[in-house]
């Protein structure tokens, strides 16, 4: 009953006595818990001092803090917001706090004095850093207020930089995956993807000296750039403002988060301005070679290494300036060493290992597109690219590594037709001995010729995938569930059926490896237009050049006719024409209006 006295001194004395009792032993704690009205104490504490409220919040009792934040006087609201920015909230309470506190905090940012705004920004920064809160804060109207802080509002002599705070909070909210195209940012109808937003962000980026601010600005641009229409706008502005130099310079920035964000943004923009980025990258000190680093035995792969390699692999493969810059800076041995290191320790030692390996293989592939350049051709031969890609086809890595390896082999195999030449016979003037003095054999040693390319072939010098024993591995790749891997492998096999090679010998070699059945399985398992086109093209080659065995295997397949009829009726132009050719060859061409075959 003494706890309910109006005299504050009495209440304080009682509380002090209770405190001493609970410190003595567990029996006292249990007795006090049974006889004392704890809710009364809590109620009193939530009214004595703000420190009490903070202590309760730190111990999970948030209601007094939230009540005073939303209903207290301005000074109390400021103190509660300040505490909210300081205390560590558990994930289970962050969402509840966001729902209760965000309207009051947003209002404090918009209307409060400097101290109140600072406290509110701090609290909102913590709440926005928890991804599930993004939608809650957006529905409370935070986006409009943050955009106003970024682009319009300017409070003189304010000790904090509210623009930095607003950009960080907005970047956190967009990280929650909010729909941007209809996200209103002001009363003038502008949305988060409007040119108004993009132009202002680019202007801020150009004039900012803060690494933290630049990092968050680029994070926002990265979310916007994932929308194709907006990416084109960003590219246009980057070209107009020469911002590409700024973004590329950020790659070298010691602030790692900024370097990663800039590299990711450049990777997204590269399909639209890749050649420009490649040229400017080559004019940047330390680039492009610094984007590729060989890992050590003990150091795990970092995100920066992974995104850097991905960016370099994404740039236009046929850009000779970039490829030569990489070659001259001894990048190829570094890449091969890095691939070897990752293969030894596996891709599970770091969550970025797999992405880094994909980037490295992608960089290696780019050299195979410019083999007309003598120094690049020499490097590809010296380092035996054919063997490297063949080995990567069966490594227990990602589908992307298999796809890229198959593309690399396709590019190399295409060059085999040009590089495979008849043997050079050196003619030397020799004096002739009488026949009875000649001891050597009269038969010259024959140099074996490639049955497919017709000349002297090897996996290293002419990139012959037959000599490299890559065909069997490519056929295994046709069983992959990933259609992109299958298409890449099939495209490589198609290089062995080109009109410039000995197609009959190639078909015979492929038949021995049961290639027909592999291709028929592709047609049954996949429905992609590109895959069907390539598969039908291969099937037609086998029907024309494979003899009775191939024709029998194809004609006896029970499912193929129905697939061909479906492609004939519904496929695109080339697919339809090839399906028709095969159906006529098999004498199973359906009536134009009806068909007995159904899918």
Sequential DSSP letters for 205-261: HHH---HHHHHHHHHHHHHHHTSHHHHHHHHHHHHHHTHHHHHHHHTT-SSHHHHHH
Q: Which of 98-112, 153-167, 305-319 shows the highest mean pLDDT?
A: 305-319
Q: Which of 85-89, 240-244, 350-354, 369-373 shows the highest mean pLDDT?
A: 369-373
What is the rounded average pLDDT of the residues 314-318?
Answer: 96
pLDDT digits (tens, 9 = 90+) for 391-410: 999 876 789 999 999 999 99
The pLDDT of residue 206: 87
From residue 379, alpha-carbon distances to 328, 386, 469, 545, 595 in Å are 11, 12, 21, 36, 55
Q: Poorest-confidence range of 89-93, 197-201, 441-445?
A: 441-445
The pLDDT of residue 438: 47
If we measure between CA atoms, which residue out of 37, 128, 32, 45 comes closest to residue 89? Answer: 128
Mean pLDDT for all residues in the chain: 87
Number of separate helices (H) and strands (E) present in the chain:
31, 0
Residue 497 has pLDDT above 60, yes or no: yes
If we measure between CA atoms, which residue out of 40, 64, 38 comes closest to residue 52? Answer: 64
40's enclosing H/E stretch is: helix 38-48
118's enclosing H/E stretch is: helix 114-128
The pLDDT of residue 598: 47
If we measure between CA atoms, which residue out of 350, 304, 356, 352 comes closest to residue 335? Answer: 356
Q: Quick check: 266 and 260 in contact, CB under 8 A? A: no
Beta bridge partners of residue 421, listed in sequence order = 456
If we measure between CA atoms, which residue out of 162, 142, 145, 53 comes closest to residue 102? Answer: 142
What is the rounded average pLDDT of the residues 140-166?
Answer: 86
Residue 74 has pLDDT above 70, yes or no: yes
Confidence band, pLDDT 50/70/90 cuts, at residue 240:
confident
The pLDDT of residue 196: 93
pLDDT digits (tens, 9 = 90+) for 353-371: 999 999 999 999 999 999 9
Distance CA 314, CA 360 (A): 11
Distance CA 94, CA 100 (A): 10
What is the rounded average pLDDT of the residues 326-340?
Answer: 94
Distance CA 555, CA 217 (A): 61
**Phi, psi of 191, deg, nearest 5:** -110, 175
Confidence band, pLDDT 50/70/90 cuts, at residue 599:
very low
Q: Residue length, the chain?
A: 599
Residue 464 has pLDDT above 80, yes or no: yes
What is the rounded average pLDDT of the residues 458-478?
Answer: 95
Q: Quick check: 473 and 440 in contact, CB under 8 A? A: no
Distance CA 534, CA 302 (A): 39
Distance CA 363, CA 357 (A): 10
What is the rounded average pLDDT of the residues 152-159?
Answer: 73
Confidence band, pLDDT 50/70/90 cuts, at residue 39:
low
* Single pTM value for the model: 0.84
Residue 374 has pLDDT above 90, yes or no: yes
**Phi, psi of 295, deg, nearest 5:** -70, 155
Residue 157 has pLDDT above 70, yes or no: no
Confidence band, pLDDT 50/70/90 cuts, at residue 427:
low
The pLDDT of residue 491: 97
Q: Quick check: 543 and 501 in contact, CB under 8 A? A: no
Distance CA 98, CA 128 (A): 9
Distance CA 198, CA 225 (A): 10
pLDDT digits (tens, 9 = 90+) for 57-73: 877 788 888 898 888 88
The pLDDT of residue 88: 86
Q: Poorest-confidence range of 363-367, 454-458, 490-494?
A: 454-458
The pLDDT of residue 418: 92
What is the rounded average pLDDT of the residues 91-96?
Answer: 87
Percent of the chain with pLDDT over 70: 85
């Amino acid at each position: 009953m003494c706890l309910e006295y109006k005299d504050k001194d009495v209440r304080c004395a009682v509380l002090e006595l209770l405190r001493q009792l609970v410190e003595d032993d567990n029996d006292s704690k249990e007795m006090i818990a049974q006889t004392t009205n704890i809710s009364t104490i809590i109620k009193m504490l939530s009214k004595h001092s703000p420190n009490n409220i903070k202590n309760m919040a730190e111990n999970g009792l948030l209601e007094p803090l939230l009540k005073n934040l939303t209903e207290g006087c301005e000074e109390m609201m400021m103190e509660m917001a300040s505490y909210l920015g300081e205390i560590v909230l558990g994930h289970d309470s962050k969402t509840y706090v966001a729902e209760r506190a965000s309207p009051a905090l947003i209002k404090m940012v918009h209307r409060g004095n400097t101290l109140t705004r600072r406290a509110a920004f701090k609290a909102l920064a913590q709440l926005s850093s928890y991804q599930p809160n993004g939608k809650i804060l957006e529905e409370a109207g935070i986006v409009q207020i943050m955009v106003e802080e970024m682009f319009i509002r300017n409070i003189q002599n304010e000790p904090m930089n509210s623009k930095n705070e607003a950009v960080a909070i907005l970047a956190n909210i967009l990280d929650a995956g909010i729909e941007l195209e209809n996200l209103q940012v002001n009363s003038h109808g502008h949305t988060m993807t409007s040119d108004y937003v993009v132009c202002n962000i680019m202007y801020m980026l150009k004039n900012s000296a803060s690494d933290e601010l630049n990092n968050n600005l680029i994070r926002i641009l990265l979310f916007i750039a994932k929308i194709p229409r907006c990416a084109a706008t960003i590219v246009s502005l980057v070209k107009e403002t020469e911002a590409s130099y700024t973004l590329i310079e950020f790659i070298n920035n010691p602030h790692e988060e900024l370097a990663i964000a800039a590299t990711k943004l450049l990777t997204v923009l590269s399909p639209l301005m890749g050649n420009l980025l490649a040229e400017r990258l080559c004019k940047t000190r330390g680039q492009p070679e610094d984007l590729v680093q060989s890992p050590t035995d003990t150091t795990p792969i970092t995100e920066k290494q992974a995104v850097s390699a991905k960016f370099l692999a994404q740039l236009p493969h046929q850009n000779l300036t970039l490829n030569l810059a990489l070659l001259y800076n001894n990048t190829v041995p570094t890449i091969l060493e890095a691939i070897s290191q990752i293969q030894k320790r596996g891709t599970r030692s770091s969550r970025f290992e797999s992405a880094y390996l994909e980037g490295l293989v992608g960089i290696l592939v780019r050299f195979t597109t410019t083999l007309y350049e003598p120094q690049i051709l020499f490097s590809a031969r010296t380092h035996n690219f054919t063997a490297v890609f063949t080995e990567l086809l069966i490594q227990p890595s990602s589908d992307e590594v298999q796809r890229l390896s198959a593309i690399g082999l396709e590019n190399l195999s295409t060059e085999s037709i040009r590089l495979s030449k008849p043997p050079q016979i050196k003619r030397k003037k020799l004096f002739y001995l009488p026949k009875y003095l000649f001891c050597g054999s009269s038969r010259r040693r024959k140099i074996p010729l490639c049955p497919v390319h017709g000349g002297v072939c090897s996996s290293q010098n002419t990139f012959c995938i037959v000599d490299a024993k890559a065909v069997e591995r490519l056929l295994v790749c046709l069983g992959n569930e990933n259609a992109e891997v299958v298409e890449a492998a099939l495209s490589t096999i198609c290089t062995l059926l080109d009109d410039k090679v000995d197609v009959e010998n190639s078909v015979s070699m492929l038949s021995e490896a049961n290639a027909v059945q592999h291709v028929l399985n592709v047609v049954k398992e996949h429905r992609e237009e590109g895959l069907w086109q390539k598969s039908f093209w291969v099937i037609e080659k086998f029907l024309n050049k494979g003899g009775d065995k191939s024709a029998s295997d194809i004609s006896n397949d029970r499912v193929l006719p129905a697939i061909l009829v479906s492609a004939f009726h519904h496929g695109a132009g080339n697919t339809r024409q090839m399906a028709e050719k095969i159906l006529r060859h098999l004498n199973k061409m359906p009536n134009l209006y009806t068909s007995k075959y159904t899918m």
